[in-house]
A and B are shown apart, each in its own frame.
Chain A
Amino acid sequence: MQYLPNILFVIALAAGVGFFVLNIKKLIRNIKLGRDEDRNDNKPQRWKNMAKIALGQYKMVRRPVSGIVHVLVYLGFVIINLEVLEIIIDGIFGTHRIFSFLGGFYDFLIAVFEIFALLVLVGVIIFWIRRNILHIKRFLNREMKGWPKLDANLILYFEVVLMVLFLTMNAADLTLQTKGAAHYASASGIIGSFPVSQFIAPLFENLSISTLILIERTSWWIHILGILVFLNYLYYSKHLHILLAFPNTYFARLKPQGQFDNLEAVTNEVKLMMDPDADPYAMPEEGAEDEVPAKFGASEATDLSWVQLLNAYTCTECGRCTSECPANQTGKKLSPRRIMMATRDRIEDIGKNIDANKGSFKEDGKQLLDDYISREELWACTTCNACVEACPVGINPLSIIMDMRQYLVMEQSAAPTDLNNAMTNIENNAAPWPFNQMDRANWINEN
């Protein structure tokens, strides 16, 4: 029976990691529902962007308050996860602080973990205040009501609980070591250095060894189980960005923001139209039909590319895009953040549909256009790229807006009337206004 905790731990760990792996597989499957797009060019630049933007948080600090607090929480998260490695080994083998053989360096590490745990705690409280007490506009848009707001707060509560448990565990451990409790105390003195939890330890002074062990073990167990639960919460949450920010910055566009991709299918048709030798009645070449896309632009999440779907899963709903969007800031319905959230909602619904129908999608009478993203939102965009520039992890909401506009115009001829007039003018007289092309040089002789 003495191995019961070890066995329970291994089962919990396997279940936690196993379920997470299942969800990640589902995530990758969903992202791959998007159409193909090559983002493997210029790898050195891509690695550089990932190092700078995701790892280095370079764009986060453009907004100093939220940026610097985020850097603290991020560093804390990364660094304290080193401690999780020790917790896992201790859990499997029933050891106590397995890495303590590192001696002075171990003391240093534990001290660093404690300081970061405190910083994370402070950071998370600042974040909570910003979200719930200070009326920061970008947290109050209409898309932030309900689940997105709860999700954001749940993440913060999770982190508070984990950090408090970590420090409580250390405080109880320190007290046990001081009291010379078996299994905890070492002949070589106190293991670890506890710059933060030493201030909690006095609260435990008068407790019995068995109560202290109960506190230490309970904190230890809830802490690690909490981490496993949090790991599995990611897939259902905007917090997925802690993983996806890395691939997302790697695969982000490298071209100038003003350059919109030319649709190759259109190029082929245009070239055919412009070629005087082309025979429009010629039999299509073998296999040529396959090259013609089913539709131009996007009306459904699966018409988008996998990069755009990765973007949607990466979005952590910070709203920096929306807070810089000229349409949103002047009261239009468009919010680039909502474009990303709606895209994720849709591809999630498609994924669930596929799971529920034994691997194939069953028509549900819905699509991304109209059911998730309205035309009014799409037509409010000025294509100014402010959202793209603002995103700290390289998400491109504009590309989705453009693909959906292409569907509206090229598949449905559903542009606003004024735009149709401008486009007719371009077609007829090569300018968006109804002026004769032959008058184009008149300015030369006007005074």
Chain B
Amino acid sequence: MAEAIKVPTMAEYMAQGKSPEVLFWVGCAGSFDDRAKKITKAFVKLLAKAGVDFAVLGTEESCTGDPAKRAGNEFLFQMQAVTNIEVLNGYEVKKIVTACPHCFNTIANEYPGLGGNYEVLHHTQFLKALIEEGRLTVEGGKFKGKRITFHDPCYLARANRIYEAPRDLLKKLEVELIEMKRCKTKGFCCGAGGAQMFKEPEPGTKDVNIERTEEALETKPEVIAAGCPFCNTMMTDGVKNKEQENKVEVLDIAEMIASAEDL
């Protein structure tokens, strides 16, 4: 990072008696996972460049409870949810953006029933809106004309019918988008969902991420674009397993935009 970008917390805003335009929900992966932290930073750079008045919860953020819920631990999920909702409502948060489709789905769909009502956006939707409002400009830059395939995250695509926002951003980057055979409604999972990320797979003939990576590699891409930190990990592992890491990059769309803009 050329220079440190200021990332204010909600607590700091509150101390000044102000509230930001949007809360950036970083998520566990975005906070702790080394690969996902790069996505977080790229997104923050874009927010700063667009002049978005944003804040994070910082140490007051905690797991949304998604993996607990999908594992079947409804108690733990609701404990997490109620705790987070108390914090969010305490700060009178209205609008949330997150780079994790799992956090997105949980906060948007499962928090309202527990008293947490917010406008929740996935970062690809938010970036698209920034571009449409003219606050952020994107040009092809280094991805112009490159062969790129996009892997639909289950919890963004099928689960919430968001297929176009990430693809619209890729169009802005003027890439040559090559769809995999199984995409959009038929998108094939990376293998991390349903808390599989945190366990060994059940016995089978192949790992799900290898199957998906093979499908992605069939499109002969230079970049496999992702919109989820867990998909990113799974696809990155898959590419390494296929010994293609020198030829094929796995990048989040926010990283692509940030690096196209040379941020």
Q: A329-B211, A332-B201, A415-B73 are in contact. Are A271 and B82 (CB under 8 A)?
A: yes
Residues of A within 8 A of B1 (CB): 447
Most B CB atoms within 10 A — which of A256, A326, A329? A326
**5 chain-A/chain-B pairs, Cβ below 8 angstroms:** A260-B70, A267-B78, A418-B198, A419-B71, A430-B63
Measured CA separation A414–B201 after assembly (Å): 16
Count, chain B residues at interface, CB 8 A: 75
Report if B69 contacts A (CB, 8 A). yes
Q: Tell whether, in the assembled complex, residue A326 and residue B188 are in contact, meaning their CB atoms are under 8 Å apart.
A: yes
Q: A426-B65, A437-B59 are in contact. Are A384 and B189 (CB under 8 A)?
A: yes
A314 → chain B, closest Cβ, in Å?
Answer: 21
Q: Which of B31, B70, B187 is within 8 Å of A440, CB to CB?
A: B31
Of A41-49, A133-141, A238-246, A405-413, the stretch lying at the interface with chain B is A405-413
- B56-80, CB < 8 A from A: 56, 58-59, 61-63, 65, 67-76, 78-80
Measured CA separation A176–B56 after assembly (Å): 87
Measured CA separation A180–B182 after assembly (Å): 62
Measured CA separation A418–B200 after assembly (Å): 7
Residues of B within 8 A of A427 (CB): 76, 79
Q: For residue B193, which residue of chain A has the nearest CB?
A: A382
B56 → chain A, closest Cβ, in Å?
Answer: 7
Q: Tell whether, in the assembled complex, residue B78 and residue A405 are in contact, meaning their CB atoms are under 8 Å apart.
A: no
Q: Tell whether, in the assembled complex, residue A440 and residue B189 are in contact, meaning their CB atoms are under 8 Å apart.
A: no
A106 → chain B, closest Cβ, in Å?
Answer: 45
Q: Tell whether, in the assembled complex, residue A389 and residue B185 are in contact, meaning their CB atoms are under 8 Å apart.
A: yes
Report if A301 contacts B (CB, 8 A). no
Closest 3 CB pairs of A and B: A258-B159, A331-B205, A405-B72
Q: Tell whether, in the assembled complex, residue A327 and residue B28 are in contact, meaning their CB atoms are under 8 Å apart.
A: no
Report if A50 contacts B (CB, 8 A). no
Of A211-219, A352-360, A373-381, the stretch lying at the interface with chain B is A373-381
B40 → chain A, closest Cβ, in Å?
Answer: 6
Of B106-114, B134-142, B250-258, the stretch lying at the interface with chain A is B106-114
Q: Tell whether, in the assembled complex, residue A386 and residue B158 are in contact, meaning their CB atoms are under 8 Å apart.
A: yes
Report if A286 contacts B (CB, 8 A). no
Residues of B within 8 A of A406 (CB): 72-74
B132 → chain A, closest Cβ, in Å?
Answer: 24
Residues of A within 8 A of B59 (CB): 437-441
Q: Tell whether, in the assembled complex, residue A258 and residue B78 are in contact, meaning their CB atoms are under 8 Å apart.
A: no
Report if B7 contacts A (CB, 8 A). yes
Q: Tell whether, in the assembled complex, residue A383 and residue B193 are in contact, meaning their CB atoms are under 8 Å apart.
A: yes
Q: Tell whether, in the assembled complex, residue A327 and residue B204 are in contact, meaning their CB atoms are under 8 Å apart.
A: yes
Q: Which of B32, B75, B185, B192 is within 8 Å of A433, CB to CB?
A: B32
Q: For residue B205, which residue of chain A has the nearest CB?
A: A331
A102 → chain B, closest Cβ, in Å?
Answer: 45
Q: Tell whether, in the assembled complex, residue A331 and residue B160 are in contact, meaning their CB atoms are under 8 Å apart.
A: no
Q: Tell whether, in the assembled complex, residue A409 and residue B71 are in contact, meaning their CB atoms are under 8 Å apart.
A: yes
Q: A326-B189, A409-B71 are in contact. Are A258 and B109 (CB under 8 A)?
A: yes
B109 → chain A, closest Cβ, in Å?
Answer: 4
Q: Give residues in B with beta carbon < 8 Å to A.
A: 1, 4, 7, 9, 26, 28, 30-33, 37, 40-41, 56, 58-59, 61-63, 65, 67-76, 78-83, 86, 105, 109-110, 113-114, 154-155, 158-161, 182, 185-189, 191-208, 210-212
Q: Which of A270, A431, A439, A447 is within 8 Å of B63, CB to CB?
A: A431
Q: A423-B76, A437-B62 are in contact. Are A385 and B158 (CB under 8 A)?
A: yes
Q: Tell whether, in the assembled complex, residue B72 and residue A444 are in contact, meaning their CB atoms are under 8 Å apart.
A: no
Q: Tell whether, in the assembled complex, residue B58 and residue A441 are in contact, meaning their CB atoms are under 8 Å apart.
A: yes
Report if A422 contacts B (CB, 8 A). yes
Measured CA separation A146–B142 after assembly (Å): 58
Q: A269-B75, A382-B208, A383-B193 are in contact. Are A431 and B202 (CB under 8 A)?
A: no
Measured CA separation A384–B197 after assembly (Å): 13
Report if A263 contacts B (CB, 8 A). yes
Q: Tell whether, in the assembled complex, residue A256 and residue B160 are in contact, meaning their CB atoms are under 8 Å apart.
A: yes
Report if A333 contacts B (CB, 8 A). yes
Q: A330-B205, A431-B31 are in contact. Are A273 and B63 (CB under 8 A)?
A: no
Q: Which of A332, A402, A435, A447 is within 8 Å of B204, CB to CB?
A: A332
Q: Which of A389, A407, A426 is within 8 Å of B80, CB to CB?
A: A426
Measured CA separation A379–B70 after assembly (Å): 10
- A227-279, CB < 8 A from B: 255-260, 262-263, 266-267, 269-271, 273-274
Report if A445 contacts B (CB, 8 A). yes
Most A CB atoms within 10 A — which of B70, B83, B182? B70
Q: Which of A262, A376, A426 is within 8 Å of B78, CB to CB?
A: A262
Report if A291 contacts B (CB, 8 A). no
Q: Which of B4, B40, B182, B207 is within 8 Å of A330, CB to CB?
A: B207
Q: Tell whether, in the assembled complex, residue B114 and residue A262 are in contact, meaning their CB atoms are under 8 Å apart.
A: yes
Q: Which of B28, B61, B67, B189 is within 8 Å of A386, CB to CB?
A: B189
